[in-house]
Amino acid sequence: MCLKMVTLNPQDLLLVFGGTTILWLIGIVFWRRWLHPLSKYPGPFLYTVSSVPNVIRLLGGKHHIIIRKLHEQYGPVVRVSPNELSFCGADAWEDIYGFRTYDQPMQKDPIWVGALNAKLDALPLTYATREDHARQRRAFSHPFSNSSCIQQQPLIQAQIDKFIARLSELANVNQPVNLTNWFSFLALDIIGDLCFNAPFGCLDDGKDTKWCKNLDDAKRYGVYEMCTRRVAGPHTWLQKQLSHWLVPQRYKDGVQKHFLHSKEKVTARLKDTETDHKDFIYYVLRNNESKRLLSTTEILLNSSLFIGAGSDTTSSVLASGTYILVTHPHVYSTLAAEIREACPTPESITIANIKSLPYLSAFLSETMRLYTPITTGNLRAVPSPLPTPSSFSGKKGSPAIESATPSAGDFGGTYIDTHGPIPPGTTVSVHHYTSTRSLLNWTRPNEFLPERWLSPGNFPNDKRHASQPFMLGPRGCIGKNLSYIEQRMVFCNLLCHFDFEFLGGSEQLGAPRWGLNEAGDWKDILGFMAWEQPELWVKLVKRDFGGST
């Protein structure tokens, strides 16, 4: 029998390749939509079969809006990528980010981690492994303790005094003030002084410095990097190529410049061992355990991290809160009266005087609920289950046995807000912007109502644990105490020194971009993990301390 060799011309080869590719893509779509372990969870078709829709929204700065709309359409749990679930229920916070004594804690998802140079021999708190994170957090626990933050009041007040002086200069000549910029300058100079004993000079210059520009670029770089990991998988060859060719060079340069500038500051500060300036490094160097627990590289990386985390979110809360004050007369008058009664003069503004002001606390909590400092969700990966309860030793009814029961060890997954079992390796998160604006968690969620925080009886159906601006659990924000002190001190100083009003109605002064639209979303304000806040122009009038309020 004679065998004939079949030859294919280039056109036939192209058809075969094209047909095979189409069948392969159809197979992937079919698997992801109908056969995938997450196929039982609702979500829009394109989102369940591809990561591209999420990437488009992230790069466009509108990701927070689409996630909120998806939850309004599909409910408390939505499949927002082939291997990702988003939750908005209040109890999901503890299940995902809490200490999870009944199961292994959820680690940061590889999609979320990886923006820093992998060649470094260490990672900062945000990206560190579970063991390294616990060690570093222990080392920084003293500088960020409430008692240490109180001792740092003179450092914070010194920068606020400079801030007030610069605003007074503008008020004296009746010049409009863009508080968005000035809040950024203030937050950066405070964190620079607290990190390095070296403010960045933003308040002195009254304009963006290299630190401001580099931080903005670094924030965008992080979003682009996350998008490449979503499309190609973390740390793959394709992801590296996408990062190399698609991430704008400006953003790459911003990250490197920020790191190098931070390195210069840390190196200089570590050499100055005789100063008694009570910044973070002061406490690290004088605490033998902290000094032993941290390497020089870890001090550098965490200082670089604190600059961004300690300035961007704080300035965002200050700008959002000020917008609320100038557009809600009742809130303005109530808060001003409380602060001016407790602190009739600037000298009376102390942490002891302002830490327990009830309306100020409620105002800050409601500001961070409605205008969340972080726009997106912190991604976690569902861990492999612990051994089943039957494998635990101990007597029946003991805490070890009882606490193991919620673990889905018997099911090969875990439960989140009663949903599950969710298989190991699934990416999960709660999106701040969605959780804090959901009717599932709040009465009249799109309204600014500080009263909901004054007494549980005011809004009995509110689930106040649905608002977690500083996260919770083992990875909760270490700077929570410091941030609250800064916010309280800034608003008390502002309302003690000035009356102010919003210069609305003028496009040149940035008015149209502030506020909420009919759907309850920010007007034209983009979110790239944190907000890109527009200009906030106000008119300041200096107050007379003769006794009137």
Sign of CA dihedral 516, 316, 223, 370: negative
The 8 Å CB, 24+ separation contacts for 492-495 are: 492/339, 492/343, 492/349, 492/354, 492/360, 493/160, 493/163, 493/164, 493/346, 493/349, 494/164, 494/322, 495/335, 495/336, 495/339, 495/340
The annotation status of 477 as a binding-site residue, yes or no, is yes
**Tokens 């925080």 map to which residue?**
453
Q: Is 470 helix (H, G, I), strand (E, B) or coil?
A: coil
Q: Where do we find the tokens 């009003």?
A: 501
Provide the b/e sequence for 34-73 (b: ≥16 CB within 10 Å): eebebeebebbeebbbbbebbbebbbebbbbbbbbebbbe
User: What are the residue ranges of helices labelled H in 472-511?
Assistant: 480-497
Contacts 24+ apart (CB under 8 A), 531-534: 531/316, 531/320, 531/371, 531/373, 531/375, 532/61, 533/180, 533/315, 533/316, 533/319, 533/320, 534/180, 534/510
Q: Which residue has the tokens 């914070």?
A: 156
Sign of dihedral through CA atoms 369, 372, 375, 376? negative
Instruction: Answer yes or no: are the C-beta atoms of 312 and 215 closer than 8 Å.
Output: yes
Q: How far apart are CA 371 and CA 459, in angstroms?
A: 19
What is the spatial distance between Cα 351 and Cα 337, in angstroms, rounded to a whole number? Answer: 18
Query: Which residue bears the tokens 């590719």?
Result: 21
CA distances from 348 to 424, 484, 516 (A): 54, 18, 36
CB half-sphere exposure, 280, CA atoms < 13 A: 28
Residue 122 structure tokens: 């260490």
Per-residue HEC secondary structure of 394-428 comes to: CCCCCHHHHHHCCCECCCCEEEECCEEEECCCCEE
In sequence order, what DSSP letters do the residues of 122-167 get, joined into one string?
---TTT--HHHHHHHHHHHTTTTSHHHHHHTHHHHHHHHHHHHHHH
Indicate the SS3 state at residue 213.
helix
Measured CA to CA, the distance from residue 362 to residue 350 in angstroms comes to: 19
Phi and psi at residue 81, in whole multiples of 5°?
A: -155, 165
Those residues whose C-beta lies under 8 Å from the C-beta of residue 38, and which sit 6 or more positions away, are 48, 79, 82, 83, 85, 422, 423, 426
Residue ranges at the known binding site? 477
Residue ranges at the known binding site for heme? 477
